[in-house]
Amino acid sequence: MNKIKVINEPSELVPMLRAVDTPVKRDVLKEVTMEWKTLKEIEDKYGVEGKEALKFFEKMKLVETRWQPSSGNRPEKAYHTYYNSFHINASWPVYEISDVLSVAMMPEEEFLELEKKILDQVGKEGKFAGDVAEAMGLTSTMLKSVVKRSVRLDYRGHRLEKVKE
């Protein structure tokens, strides 16, 4: 079945750009595009960085999963890309796309610092995204972009919450 990801929201570009920002992520994405791969297979070949790449892809909904038999008694979770292609509707105001690209290209240290500040704002209970954006002086597009890049934050409706492990 041919599945196409339609990107209508500028912040949806962030996962696409971050999915190939390192050689390991790019290689893992290629592997799970070709065939179903288990976490163990990816981790054996690419180490912890490969495992983190799969975790990122799963949070970004770029991969689908299924349980398949393994050499042991227990089935293993296997991963494969969910989409065959992407359709990008790129007609956004400059101020929105500049926020998106800024977050996507932000150095890792700077991103982790910003993510930590947002996590502190969100707390254990979660918080309305508009309140977080206002308190931090971020546009809603920039906040959405940060959340799209983060594997530790997610939206639940209009609320921001920490991702449960």
- Output the domain CATH number for residue 29: 1.10.10.10
* Pair 120, 113: CB distance under 8 Å: no
Q: What is the pLDDT of residues 102-155, one digit of tens each?
A: 999 999 999 999 999 999 999 999 999 999 999 999 999 999 999 999 989 999
Q: What is the pLDDT of residues 5-23, one digit of tens each?
A: 888 888 888 888 888 889 9
As a whole number, the mean pLDDT across the chain is 90
Which of 64, 88, 112 represents a domain boundary (last residue)? Answer: 88
Cα(101)–Cα(57) distance, integer angstroms? 19
Q: What is the pLDDT of residue 7?
A: 86
Residues 101 and 151 in one domain: yes
* Pair 43, 32: CB distance under 8 Å: no
Overall average pLDDT of the 30-59 stretch? 93
Q: What is the pLDDT of residue 118?
A: 96
In this prediction the pTM is 0.76
Give backbone dihedrals phi and psi of 128, rounded to 5 degrees, phi first: -60, 130
Residues 17 and 72 in one domain: yes
Q: Which of 148, 149, 118 shows the shortest CA–CA distance to 135?
A: 118
Residues 76 and 143 in one domain: no
